A and B are shown apart, each in its own frame.
Chain A
Amino acid sequence: AQTIHQWPVAEIKAVGSPLSLGCTIKGKSSPNLYWYWQATGGTLQQLFYSITVGQVESVVQLNLSASRPKDDQFILSTEKLLLSHSGFYLCAWIDSSQNTLYFGAGTRLSVL
């Protein structure tokens, strides 16, 4: 069975500080991976997707970047956090045969 793990569970960071969020998928080779951002009480905004190692496509510009250093790993980062980065970050992979997204538990980010 496939599992998706996000880390950390929560972060409290200062404006201007760097950030790195991670996501690991186990049990699925070459998954399509996605990063989503959710403002408190809001909908989900797709940030990035990656079809293969080393390739990441940006969907929306939020002064964030993403990388896929390994087949099973997806990293979201920035060098300087903004207040507007606060929210809930979700990683997901898609089972293309079923057209179903499977989400991680998310990382709650508070930027102060």
Chain B
Amino acid sequence: TQTVSQSDAHVTVFEGDSVELRCNYSYGGSIYLSWYIQHHGHGLQFLLKYYSGNPVVQGVNGFEAEFSKSDSSFHLRKASVHWSDSAVYFCAVRPSSGQKLVFGQGTILKVYL
């Protein structure tokens, strides 16, 4: 059974700050890792994903994430946040051979001006 843990329920930063949202997973096999963003009252939008190759992947709007097999992590980063980045961010794991996508608990990012 795969599990996903996002240890920070809330992260608060100021516009222009850098931010890292943490994601750790537990699964023994081959998996897809991804990040999604949810603005209040809306559906989720895809940010980026990783399956293999370069452990640092680039996504939309300046986001990037780094995969670490040794740490079982897939942390999301942005060098300079904008107030419009305020949203809930979800990390997700899907086995490469399965249909079940498991989401983390979500991290609420608040960006102050």
Contacts of A7 in B (CB 8 A): none
Residues of A within 8 A of B103 (CB): 43-44
Interface of B is mostly: strand
Please state if A99 and B42 are interface contacts (CB–CB under 8 Å). no
Among B90, B101, B106: residue with most chain A CB under 10 A:
B101
Whole-angstrom distance between the alpha carbons of A54 and B32 in the complex? 27
Check if B100 sits within 8 Å of A106, measured CB to CB: no
Chain B residues 25 to 51 lying within 8 A of chain A, measured CB to CB, are: 32, 34, 36, 41-46, 49, 51
Q: Bin the interface of chain B by size.
A: 20 to 34
B-chain residues with CB within 8 Å of residue A59 when the two chains form the complex: 100
Tell me the bound Cα distance from A57 to B60 in angstroms.
32
Closest to A51 in B: B99
Q: Interface residues, chain A, CB within 8 Å of chain B?
A: 32, 34, 42-44, 46, 49, 51, 57, 59, 90, 92, 98-106, 108
Can you give 16 contacting A-B residue pairs, CB < 8 Å?
A43-B90, A43-B103, A46-B100, A90-B43, A99-B32, A99-B51, A101-B36, A101-B46, A101-B92, A103-B43, A103-B45, A104-B43, A105-B43, A106-B41, A106-B43, A108-B41
